Structure 1
Amino acid sequence: MSLPLPIATPVRTRRAMRDLVTGHVPGFVRALVALLAGAIAGVATPLLLGEIVDAAVGDEADHRRLVPLLVALAVLAVLLAVFAVWSRVAVARLGERMLAKLRLDVFVHVMRLPERRIEAAGRGEVISRVTADVAVVGDTVSSILPGAASAAFLVATSAVGLAFIDPRLTLAALLAVPLQVMAVRLYLKRSQPLYRASRAAAGARSQLTLEALDGHATVTAFGSGPEFEGRIDDAARREADLVLAATRVGARFWGRLNIAEFIGLAAILAVGWLLVSTGAGTVGAATAAALLFMQLFGPIGTVLASFDDLQRAAASLARLVGILDEPAAEERARPQAQASTGAAVSLQDVTFAYGTRDVLSGITFDLPHGGHLAIVGASGAGKSTIASLVNGELAPSGGAIGFGTHSSRVALVSQENHMFAGSIRDDLRIAKPDAGDDELHRALAVVGASWVEDLAAGLDTRIGDGGAVLTETRRQQLALARVELFAPDVLILDEAASEAGANGDGELGHAATALAARHTTITIAHRLDQAATADTIIVLDAGRIVEEGTHEELLNADGAYRRLWDTWHQRPAS
């Protein structure tokens, strides 16, 4: 069952934004100064035009003032252009730097999440967040935020400008505010859930697409293509329906805004006419007020139009911040017990439960340095859960896990491997960046991968996307060679030699055995022949240890292990 990653609450998202701003105070101050300068220049233009009108017409006309006023207007136009560019660049630079920090934090945190948590959430969902959601926030920061911020400052300073001209004209303009507030509140209330739902639908669609692509061979073999196409089509249709619903909400929002603008402008013109006709105001003042209000149509439209993009960005940002709230593997607090004398790993009365379902109970064992412990049991007995506990992916519900040293490094190798795009040398050096070629060849030799030397380009052979195609056996050998280079204090092999199938089991089995002989090793044995060479074997049944001993001892005991061994040897040949 899918277990989605959390989505941050609005309060948590705002706190994350505040923390980002706190880390970029100089840039934030520069952006504020640039925005304020641009807004003041924008408001001064209608005020200056009002002065020009009064100097040109009316009882107090003074044509001698026209030339300096026109010169001042020309200078103001140049300043307005300069400040507009400055403010947009300052805001964009601040936003991009903050986004770069957030993007890095999210990526680093995703890399620290337990693999089981990523699988539980669905790789499509995770990929959607770190790609599509980052793209939405990035587009908003670079394309929407600078204009919206400039417009917001202009709206605020224009309100002050209206009050400066004549408070009575300001009161007339305020008639539009209730309608604007109502329109915004309705829009925010109805659009935010739709945008959140549409982003979640996009993640679900991505997950289905990835499943179909990853299992392409299986889907084709079983003729399940139409079924997957139908499921993906349903997911895409749901996403489209949600986007369309949000668009309808936006259209109604714009209609309400147009009505508010009409009411506000009509009120200003009516009050201005009354003031001029009674001698209580000037034509220039009424003109400046009307121009200021009309000038607000664009900025208000920009601000309110940006709500659409800002809502989408806010929904995506909440999804990114939600990733940061998911505990990383090393952040999962686990009580540390003092390892018993000579023990590299010690589990003392460890229990674990998924919710209310108990998985492990009373697990106790010591693994000495250089020892090899195999854990066997039927499917669902809890073998891989122990591996995840020792590896730190899970925290025990009770008991304690201890290591011989506080800085013990644990490496887990499963049947799933990954080749990183680049050369074989680059792939191996992920485990040890400063490893020389001689060291790389020694690690390859340990796991039986000397075939690398027979390649035309040797360590420089390109692998991964667009590179040489390697068999599953060879891919896993490279993964095991990385472990040898990493030199962990504790090595966990969880079905690490089973992916290649019958043709590769021998090579991978020898490679796993060679590694186990060189490191303190826990083998999660899904095949009993993987356990036979271990120093000690633990048999699990329903989350409890029911037997413990060497291979020979357990066979002679004629208990659970002997039954598993006999059943395994009677299995049909693969």
Structure 2
Amino acid sequence: MTNGAATSGGAVTENGAAATGRELLPTADGPRIRAVLGELLRRSKGRALGSFAFIVGATAVGLLTAPLLGRVVDVVAQHRPATDLVTPVVTLVLVAVVSAIATALGVSMLARLGETMLADLRERFVDRALGLPLEQVEKAGSGDLTTRVTNDVAVVAEGVREALPELGRSVLTIVLTLGAMAVLDWRFLLAALLSVPIQLHTVRWYVRQAKPLYAAQRAAVGSQQQQLLDTIGGAKTVRAFRLADEHVERVRQRSAGAVELALRGIRLVTRFFGRLNLAEFVGLSAVLAAGYLLVGANLATVGVATAAALYFHSLFGPINTALALVDDAQAATASLARLIGVADLPAPAEPQRPGRPVDSSVKATAVGHSYVDGHPVLREVDLDLSPGERVALVGASGAGKTTLAKLIAGIHRAGSGEVSLGGVPLDELGPDRTRRTVALISQEVHVFSGTLADDLRLARPEATDEELRAALTAVGALGWTEALPDGLATVVGDGGHQLTVTQAQQLALVRLVLADPPVAILDEATAEAGSAGAKTLEAAAAAALSGRTGLVVAHRLTQAAASDRIVVLDAGAVVETGTHEELVAAGGAYATLWAAWSGQRQGST
């Protein structure tokens, strides 16, 4: 079930949006990302300080390993008794145990901190995404929102679970190890720092290249998914208009663009690591050369030189990890910007004093509408529905039926004219009251993952099991529901019990009954069931509309014949209106449609 919603402001266009012709949802900039992270971090200040303390302690204790091994080297080099090895060896064991325990605790606390921050951000994102005006989602393309909900959340989650703890450990290890080298001998530190200019230049070069590349890659994947959704979701229309080759070519182009950007990213990372290996070679060579000179001049022992070389060698892992995580950080930052961009979207503006509908009437006056290409879809359409009246919209594909339904539901704003519910224009009602006044059900329904009861309670969270059963009974769905393995507690959706198309559509009608709006719009809500489930769904739809003002975009003319009144649209204009009997007798457009429909049905029996 799709509730009506008013439109809101435009979106910032991402890289690649121009190629798709859509207004992608906004992304956050760097200062906003830092502000949000700082806000989330302050909420868990104690856990952050605790994890930092444990990781610092673990790293500091682990640094004792190199000098202890250096002492072992000195004992051997000076031919001292074997008993002198006992103390450094036992200490090495203790260092390993203490460092491992402290590291495990610190990393665990840091991971929990990251998960908590991610959960907070995800809640904000989902809450805002569910409240987005459908018009804004359609302008961006549902693929853009889909990739943010799936790919971008996954990328950020992976960064929080794996990259964040590892990055924290690596940075601390680098800082403390360089300090320990300075304590051994400041000249070893100077030798080690010869690698820093190469590393810094490499990182700066990589960041400049990677940031726009990953942003473009995210946009390209969103464009690819949107094209797939457009092609697969509209497969019948694509085949009917013989556009299959054109759509396949579009999918190929979008996929090729996404693959090309992915390959560019791989090539960039390969060059990045090649430059880091050069920095390691320069640094280690300098440390070994410094050790050779200092030992030769009796300014350091072999053990001290060994400890310095071990210190620098131990930096290979943390430095490469920290710098390699720049790659993950770029991807995660690009995804994070997309999540925060949606979470920061302002809620649709509500009027200061929302109007209150006086009844359940619907009125469209001189309504006109065009989409972005400027082609008019509706022209001066007038439509009146009395309280409790059921009106069917009939017309050929492209006549403007669905567009008119969306305008009345408040999903789109009319380009001209006015739509009123209960005598109040939609702008004066506001988004919230519009959603409570009118609901739209399309042929594209969704079964949400979870129990059947939870799925239904999306329409009315406080509904009792008895109220759920009453709504199921109203649309004739209680029988098959009770036959499920666990009844209302049966898990449905992905990974759960699979429902038929008819059953899934019935659930949407049950949600309509539970939400109980005074006005309901069914946009070909029985079209996907096929002939086998058509009668069942038509009966369910009639029951769900009982007591409401109903506008039915009729896929089957039997629904139109059972309506109180029929409105025929052709090329965006109303060409006929009346009862079934009146229009058949008039011999106009509807009579032609009915004759064709009746003949088709007789021929198929």
TM-score range, shorter chain: 0.7 to 0.9
Q: 1:84 aligns with which of 83, 95, 103?
A: 103
Q: 1:38 aligns with which of 44, 55, 58?
A: 58
Aligned equivalents of 1:23 and 1:481: distance in 2? 41
Aligned equivalents of 2:531 and 2:90: distance in 1? 88
Which segment drifts farther, 5-14 or 364-373? 364-373
Deviations 1:204-255 (A, max 9, x none): 6656777787789999999999999998787666655544433332222222
Q: 1:481 aligns with which of 491, 497, 510?
A: 510
| Residue pair 1:548, 1:554 contacting (<8 A) in 2 also | no
Is 2:172 aligned against 1:153?
yes
> Counterpart of 2:106 in structure 1: which amino acid?
S
Q: 1:531 to 1:24 in 2, by over 3 A?
A: farther
Aligned equivalents of 1:110 and 1:98: distance in 2? 18
Note the aligned Cα RMSD (angstroms).
5.3
Q: 1:33 to 1:554 in 2, by over 3 A?
A: farther
- Where does residue 27 of structure 1 map in the other structure? 47
Q: 2:444 aligns with which of 416, 431, 435?
A: 416
Is 2:510 aligned against 1:492?
no
Equivalent position SS for 2:117: helix
Equivalent position SS for 1:493: strand
Deviation at 1:469, TM superposition (A): 6.0
- Where does residue 280 of structure 2 map in the other structure? 261
Deviation at 1:53, TM superposition (A): 7.5
Which segment drifts farther, 532-541 or 184-193? 532-541
Is 2:199 aligned against 1:175?
no
Aligned equivalents of 1:503 and 1:73: distance in 2? 76
Is 2:406 aligned against 1:388?
yes
Deviations 1:137-182 (A, max 9, x none): 3333333332222011111222333444444443332221111111
Counting only pairs closer than 5 Å after superposition, residues 436-475 of structure 1 correspond to structure 2 as 439-440=467-468, 442-447=470-475, 452=480, 467=497, 470=500, 472=502, 475=504
Q: 1:295 aligns with which of 314, 317, 328?
A: 314
Q: 1:49 to 1:362 in 2, by over 3 A?
A: farther
Aligned equivalents of 2:320 and 2:277: distance in 1? 9
Which segment drifts farther, 350-359 or 510-519? 350-359
Aligned equivalents of 1:490 and 1:223: distance in 2? 37
> Counterpart of 1:492 in structure 2: which amino acid?
I
Q: 1:36 to 1:325 in 2, by over 3 A?
A: same
Deviations 1:389-422 (A, max 9, x none): 4544345678751449958353212223344567
| Residue pair 2:360, 2:519 contacting (<8 A) in 1 also | no
> Counterpart of 1:384 in structure 2: which amino acid?
T
Is 2:116 aligned against 1:100?
no
Deviations 1:56-85 (A, max 9, x none): 989xx9x99998777665544433222222
Deviation at 1:300, TM superposition (A): 0.7
Aligned equivalents of 2:46 and 2:399: distance in 1? 57
* Matched-pair identity in %: 40
Which segment drifts farther, 394-403 or 224-233? 224-233
Deviation at 1:423, TM superposition (A): 7.6
| Residue pair 1:332, 1:395 contacting (<8 A) in 2 also | no
Is 2:349 aligned against 1:333?
yes
Q: 1:191 to 1:441 in 2, by over 3 A?
A: closer
Deviations 1:104-146 (A, max 9, x none): 4444444444556556656565544433443333333333332
Aligned equivalents of 2:185 and 2:492: distance in 1? 73
| Residue pair 1:428, 1:478 contacting (<8 A) in 2 also | yes
Equivalent position SS for 1:518: coil
Which segment drifts farther, 514-523 or 454-463? 454-463
Q: 1:349 to 1:341 in 2, by over 3 A?
A: farther
Aligned equivalents of 1:140 and 1:423: distance in 2? 31
Deviation at 1:102, TM superposition (A): 3.6
Equivalent position SS for 2:349: coil
| Residue pair 1:452, 1:458 contacting (<8 A) in 2 also | no
Aligned equivalents of 2:60 and 2:318: distance in 1? 14
Counting only pairs closer than 5 Å after superposition, residues 227-266 of structure 1 correspond to structure 2 as 239=258, 241-266=260-285
Aligned equivalents of 1:282 and 1:114: distance in 2? 72
Using CA pairs under 8 Å that are at least 6 residues apart, name the structure with larger relative contact order, 1 or 2: 2
Equivalent position SS for 1:412: strand
Q: 1:157 to 1:422 in 2, by over 3 A?
A: closer
Length, aligned pairs only:
562
| Residue pair 1:375, 1:525 contacting (<8 A) in 2 also | yes
Q: 1:77 to 1:245 in 2, by over 3 A?
A: same
| Residue pair 1:346, 1:403 contacting (<8 A) in 2 also | no
Equivalent position SS for 2:315: helix
What is the TM-score normalised by the length of structure 2? 0.71
Deviation at 1:16, TM superposition (A): 3.9
| Residue pair 2:393, 2:569 contacting (<8 A) in 1 also | yes
Deviation at 1:454, TM superposition (A): 10
Equivalent position SS for 2:27: coil
Aligned equivalents of 1:260 and 1:317: distance in 2? 31
Counting only pairs closer than 5 Å after superposition, residues 308-387 of structure 1 correspond to structure 2 as 308-324=327-343, 331-333=347-349, 335=351, 338-339=355-356, 341-342=358-359, 354-355=371-372, 357=374, 370=388, 383-387=401-405
Deviation at 1:29, TM superposition (A): 1.8
> Counterpart of 1:245 in structure 2: which amino acid?
R
Deviation at 1:470, TM superposition (A): 4.0
Structure 1: stretches of 5+ with no match in the other structure: none
Deviation at 1:324, TM superposition (A): 3.3
Q: 1:6 to 1:285 in 2, by over 3 A?
A: farther
Deviations 1:300-354 (A, max 9, x none): 1221233333334334434444443567xxx233657635754666778987664
- Where does residue 8 of structure 2 map in the other structure? none
Deviation at 1:518, TM superposition (A): 0.7
Deviation at 1:566, TM superposition (A): 4.6
Aligned equivalents of 1:155 and 1:198: distance in 2? 32
Equivalent position SS for 1:139: helix
Aligned equivalents of 2:160 and 2:596: distance in 1? 60
- Where does residue 161 of structure 2 map in the other structure? 142
